[in-house]
Amino acid sequence: MKIVITGSSGFIGYHLASELLNRRYKVIGIDNNNNYYSNLIKKKRANKLKKNKNFTFHKVNLVNEKKLEKIFLKHKPEIIFHLAGQPGVLYSLKHPKSYLINNVIATQSLCKISKKHNIKKFIFGSSSSVYGDQKKFPIRETFKENPKNPYAKTKLSSEKIIEKSFKKSNTDYIIFRFFTVYGPFGRPDMFIHKFLNSIKKNKKINLYNSGLNFRDFTYIDDVVKILLKNIMISPSKKIFNICRSKPIKTIHLVQLIEKIFKKTVKIRKIGFVKGEMLKTHGSNSLLKKNFKSISFTDIKYGLKKTIAFYKKYGY
């Protein structure tokens, strides 16, 4: 079976590709390797994947339909994991156009080519940010979306494009809304890795909203296991949260990291930042009902694995 992963040099894409290759699938990675965060980390991920003979990499921007067409004609994939996209909530407030191109237009382009080539399954990595701030918790998939920033708005737009493209087609599509994914080889722009880098460089780190935000952290291995299950399972529901459903206050997360790392860091508590959500707390009951035998990694264990990897490799 041939599987395309867009965003294969990214955090989730890399871990998914690694596990698929371990299971002897043929993986076609597509990534434009942009400079939103350190290209060095993306190249390290890509180079690790390239060591496997079943991995083929294409450095392509998804908006380029002609190049996408050539990739599909050459490899004839059956499944698409669309994990590419421009991430970052705060960055999106300053650079909204980048999100329109890399999230919305890129998704339109990929859906168009996928539909033309009768792809069997199309799996999309969306975000919990589409919910925005909610008054009731845990957040269920049926809650009304309330995106607060360009990143969240373009993720929701991408969901709508996918629904419209495949609703009356033979392609089985599914949308996963990820809640703050973390783990080894993670994104340096995410809070946990920012914090680890601050410890390493002995620098202060900003705690938005004085560290009183709640985040529903989800370990990368759990996300990958669910994505893999979806290859064989075709639930009737089309939108699922992927979350541990046990949010932690940022200030408590900081204390946990310091304890595991055995080092303290200087903290600068600052006020509320526009576009940031106060709390993410998703419900995973629908996911567990449809995908069976799913368990989620304890935050302490996940952090230990993440920190051990960071100490060994420095990223």
Is 313 known to be catalytic?
no
What DSSP state is assigned to residue 17?
H
CA torsion sign for 90, 94, 95, 96 is positive
Burial status of residue 229 (CB atoms within 10 A of its CB: 0-12, 13-18, 19 or more)? middle
Kindly tell me the burial class for residue 201, based on how many C-beta atoms sit within 10 Å of its own C-beta (0-12, 13-18, 19 or more): exposed
Burial (CB count <10 Å: 0-12, 13-18, 19+), residue 5: buried
Nearest by Cα to 129 from 157, 163, 169, 161: 157
Residue 305 in tokens = 């694995």
Choosing from 91, 131, 151, 173, which is the catalytic residue?
151
C-alpha distances (whole Å) from 70 to each of 6, 75, 76, 112 are: 15, 9, 10, 14
Report the alpha-carbon distance of residue 155 to residue 161 in Å, rounded: 10
Q: What is the DSSP letter of 209?
A: G
- Taking phi over 0 as left and psi of -120 to 50 as alpha, with beta for the rest, 118 belongs to left
Q: What angle is formed at CA 107 by the lines to CA 191 and CA 97, rounded to 5 degrees?
A: 65
Which residues are known to be catalytic? 151
